[in-house]
Structure 1
Amino acid sequence: MKHTFYAAMMLFIVQQSIAQIVINELDCDTPGIDDKEFVELKSDTPNLSLDGYVVVFFNGSDSGADSSYMTIDLDGYQTDPNGLLLIGSDAVEPFPQLLISANVIQNGADAVAVYLGSDFDFPEGTLATQTNLIDALVYDTSDADDTELMALLGVSEQINEGSGNNTNSIQRNNDGTYTVAAPTPRALNDGSGEAFNAITISTSQTQYNEDEIITLIFTAQENVTADLEFSFSLDNSGFNSSDYAGPTTLTIPEGDIIVSIPLALIDDDLDEGDEEPLVRFTDLQWPYIPNNNFLKLRVVDNDFTMADFGTPINPTYGVVSSTQPNGYYDSLDGLADDNLKQALQDIIADPATVRAQTYNDCIDILKEADQNPENSNQVWLVYLEEGRAKLDFQTTSVNTGKWNREHTFPRSRAGYFSIEEDEIADGIDVYWETKADSLRHGNSDAHALRAVDGPENSSRGNQFYGEYNGPTGTLGGFKGDVARSVFYLAVRYNGLEIVNGFPDGIVGQFGDLATLLDWHRNDPPDDFEMNRNNVVYNWQFNRNPFIDQPELVEYIWGNMIGETWDQPLSVDESQLREIVIYPNPATDRIYIKGLEQQAEISVISLDGKILQSEKVEPNTSNINLNLQSGLYLFKVQFEDRSIVRKLIIK
């Protein structure tokens, strides 16, 4: 009998202990990009360890099926002297004790719950349950009640935070009811409890060059009541104490509110790439807490390197050699039409050789393949035709000033998609086997992905080329590149084809063939494109053949259909690359070097009109021009071969 009584008492004590944790406040929707959403937990006793608890978020939409979409394990965390734990992104002020990504809390009708257990108990897609449930809140933003979700969690009321982009939060009252009011993160909802003094980090700017001075300013919410000594750190990734000079321990004097410190950035001779120091407190003690933290700055490295080849708008030719293995294309010789196309697919989709990487791996691939030849710390943006810092890859819903990944053959047109594993960047040596029928892998095929300005990617949408021609005022140096990437995809994957005109909503079809042929012919492969072909080959073990052998386009889609392909009869690239045309950009005269036989020289506008044409002899060294400023094509034609170079007139 005593054992039974003891067990009952222990169960009662455990239940009372468990009942201490409640969801104190939720802000599921904030104006703008939803980066200030948070959830706040409350314990009845201060400084309570939260080991053994998890927070689980449930999706109440039809597609979410009242199942979990995010789980946060609370092991290692504890509430503060007011019994609170704030969970949110680094945009929330005061700064949360537990960080999550921005814009991940859904608006509703959804739910958040606290359980006894671990994150392993709630894999993504776990149906809401009352097993081991401590507290739950079902909420919405002016949505209909999700009665099924309420029943699953044993909740009788769904709380409305307000309509979209509201400035409210849902706050628990002491009697267990809820109030909707202005958010009070890290503070008790009834205004009681110990007051804190939040410290804010600020700077006059967020980007600096090496050898400049960063002045950090630390400002308290209220005057400090005694000398406040604290420390901070700037370490982040490769940025550390060797990159700056100055103290990292400061004191705000008693009765004062502010202190500042200048830190000298060290200008070394190393190309470490642009870096992002992360200013954060390391030892603040209650009642002092961070109002903001993890302040990210940018230090631009002036020791970037430049490639020995040009950008797509100032191209060079023959500097970068193809890294294709000997005999890579030999199996194509003597073939024509469908046999030629099939043999080409057998090379670039060979399941015994070719590798498929994840979509997130492609971020690293593009940083290398699309590196700006004029600055090794930047990527070259297709369409916009300029460099942008590699560090400015888009990671939130805000795309202004950011770059992301452009599918030259849009996903909605092709029918490929992402899977959960695509979110992992697992490196060059981890890959999927792939074949011609592996259309899903087209989503992460770097031959058809380009670094692109975020807003320009949105502007292009899923338009066909010809409907979309690039931003006004740019030189169109991307046109041949994107055409050849689409040609590549149409051979690499079964289910994709290029057609005339603009097909309406037919998945797998891409237009317009005539436009793509024109872009390919008028913008031949340059060193930038050959370099990216080599880089992607290093990752995927296949190449874009229309960069290595651009004439193949004519044999499959163009004016040589039906003709037999034979490599020895193709252009002798090594000889043609010895021909140099300079200066470029030019004004009224250009010079030719390396011409060993008579040739016909033509200057062609981008719409295909021949503006100037003349025969020149081997000893001819210059040609006079009378052209307006702009981009032209300069064609050198021999009896059986030709080269085309871009020519810029200033």
Structure 2
Amino acid sequence: MKKIYTIFSILSVVVGFAQIPAGYYNTATGTGYTLKTQLKKIIDDVNDGIPSEHLAIDRTYAGLYVTYTTSDIDLYYENNGTMLDMYTENPTGPDNCEYTYGVNQDDGTGGTSECQKYNREHIIPQSVFSAATPMYSDAHFVVPSDKYVNAQRGDFPFGRTAAPTNTYSNGSRRGPNLNSGYSAGYSGTIFEPINEFKGDIARMILYFATRYEDNVASWSYPMFNGTSTQVFTNTHLEILKQWHLLDPVSQREIDRNNAIFARQNNRNPFIDHPEWVEVIWGPTLGTDSFEATANISIYPNPTSNNLINISSDVELNEIELISINGQIVQKISRPNSIQNVYRLENLPQGFYFVKLSSADNQTVTKKILVN
């Protein structure tokens, strides 16, 4: 599961963020799509005349396996140094599949069921960009994966399903997109990762849209709308923004970003600065059915006395307080309420997201301001 950050672990996160080179984001000063273009110039392989510019390096498709030995090692769940695969990793118990780099690597055979071979998964399918470089070998969105589940995902876009036709060992699944709530507007077949990695995948896709801004309008894919600005259809943009909020940046992502930077010389800005997702693409709609059914309200908001009240007609199973940088500041499981009102006290000043979860895993995220 995502780690709960105490004041001490927050300090360790700051140390992780400190690996961003001095001045790396100095030219990221705009808002909206202007900021996205500024970030594209920072992370691409073109000399844009930016002070202290770092040009991205293509380490080749074969070189991905070298990158993975530092970027995708399980030091977070089993913590045993095996390959970390988002499609088979079980964050709450033993994994069904365990891979060691250099062993059972895809050699053109096997892959007829889980746990036989591992290979490289393009989160945005390589068919979208005709397997052209540097996209083909960009480790920020090309990840190690079980070969079988990779093939099962195929070229399907990401989404959420209430009626899966296929479910895999860690709970990832494939099926028709749930055409309601925040995923309303698309009914085709989708692939849904488990909750633990939805934010990871969303931030990889948002990186792709930014890094390849000059090309993406010419590529056809169900998640894309044919523009270089918004890039995504309204439905898929809302899915990505919701997943970005519901699954905040983890230490694993920070470490992965640093490891890829050491090899590839560019970074995923939405891991370093999660708040930029909203600055560029706007806030989430927050229209999922749970919010209406639970009749949720948060007050006072803004608050000036370091506390908020949360009113909900549905019993809450978990409350998470998330910083603007995407870090979990406080997590309360099975919180106590008085007449359906929950209280958070001693809140430090700042802007936060409050994620509320019910017993049946429905969630809603609200914004609060503590003056």
Q: Do both proteins adopt the same fold according to a TM-score greater than 0.5, normalized to the shorter chain?
A: yes
Q: What is the alpha-carbon distance in structure 1 between the residues aligned to residue 362 and residue 68 of structure 2?
A: 27
- Within-5 A mapping of 1:469-488: 471=167, 473-474=171-172, 475-488=194-207
Secondary structure at the aligned position of 2:35 is classed as helix
1:581 aligns with 2:331: yes
In structure 2, C-alpha distance between the alignment counterparts of 1:459 and 1:484, rounded to whole Å: 22
Q: Is the 1:497–1:510 Cα contact (8 Å) retained in structure 2? A: no
The code of the aligned residue for 2:126 comes to: R
Correspondence list, 1:422-433, <5 A: none
- Give the aligned partner of residue 99 of structure 2: 389
State yes or no: 1:533 paired with 2:257: yes
What is the Cα deviation at residue 467 of structure 1? 6.8
Once residues 551 and 496 of structure 1 are traced to their aligned partners in structure 2, the CA distance between those partners, rounded to angstroms, is 23
Give the Cα separation in 2 of the matches to 1:553 and 1:471.
30
- The answer to whether the Cα contact below 8 Å between 2:124 and 2:205 also exists between their aligned partners in 1 is yes
Is contact 2:274-2:324 (8 Å) kept?
no
Task: Return 5+ residue gaps in structure 2 as ranges.
Answer: 48-54, 173-193, 285-322, 337-341
Match of 2:281 among 547, 553, 557: 557
**C-alpha distance in 1, partners of 2:128/2:328?**
41
The CA distance in 1 between the partners of 2:328 and 2:156, in whole Å, is: 39
Identity of aligned residues (%): 28
Q: Is the CA contact 2:4–2:329 (under 8 Å) kept in the aligned structure 1?
A: no
Distance 1:548 1:594 in 2: 27
1:407 aligns with 2:122: yes
**Match of 1:579, SS?**
strand
CA shift at 1:339, angstroms? 2.6
Distance in 2, matches of 1:636 and 1:337, equals 19
**Whole-Å Cα distance in 2 between the matches of residues 520 and 507 of structure 1?**
21
CA distance 1:456–1:578, change in 2 (3 Å): closer
Contact 1:536/1:543 (CA < 8 Å) preserved in 2?
A: yes
Which of the pair has the greater relative contact order for Cα pairs under 8 Å at 6+ separation?
A: 2
Question: Is 1:446 aligned to residue 139 of structure 2?
Answer: yes
Q: Does 1:343 align with 2:38?
A: yes
Whether the aligned pair in 2 keeps the contact of 1:354 and 1:542 (CA below 8 Å) is yes
Structure with a larger share of its residues in strand? 1
**Residue 327 (structure 1) shift:** 2.1
The 3-state SS of whatever aligns with 1:365 is helix
**Partner residue of 2:26 out of 326, 330, 351:** 330
Question: What residue ranges of structure 1 are gaps of 5+ in the alignment?
Answer: 1-312, 418-439, 561-570, 606-610, 612-626, 641-650
Q: Structure 1 residues 587, 389: CA separation in 2 closer, same or farther (over 3 Å shift)?
A: farther
Q: CA RMSD in A?
A: 3.9
Cα-to-partner distance string for 1:274-328 (whole Å, 9 max, x where unaligned): xxxxxxxxxxxxxxxxxxxxxxxxxxxxxxxxxxxxxxx3335534412111221
List aligned pairs for 1:494-533, cutoff 5 A. 494-497=214-217, 502=222, 512-533=236-257
Residue aligning to 2:295:
none
Partner residue, 2:183? none
Q: Secondary structure at the match of 1:383?
A: coil
1:580 and 1:592 in contact (8 A); partners too? no
Deviations 1:239-272 (CA, angstroms, capped at 9, x unpaired):
xxxxxxxxxxxxxxxxxxxxxxxxxxxxxxxxxx
Deviations for 1:178-220, whole angstroms, at most 9, x for unmatched residues? xxxxxxxxxxxxxxxxxxxxxxxxxxxxxxxxxxxxxxxxxxx
TM-score by length of 2: 0.61
Residue 416 (structure 1) aligns with: 131
Give CA deviations for 1:225-249 in whole Å, capped at 9, x if unaligned: xxxxxxxxxxxxxxxxxxxxxxxxx
Larger Rg: 1
Aligned equivalents of 2:281 and 2:270: distance in 1? Answer: 12
- How does the TM-score come out when normalised to structure 1? 0.36
- Relative to 1, partners in 2 of residues 1:631 and 1:572: Cα closer, same or farther, differing over 3 Å? closer
The alpha-carbon distance between structure 1 residues 634 and 355, as it changes in their structure 2 partners (threshold 3 A), is same
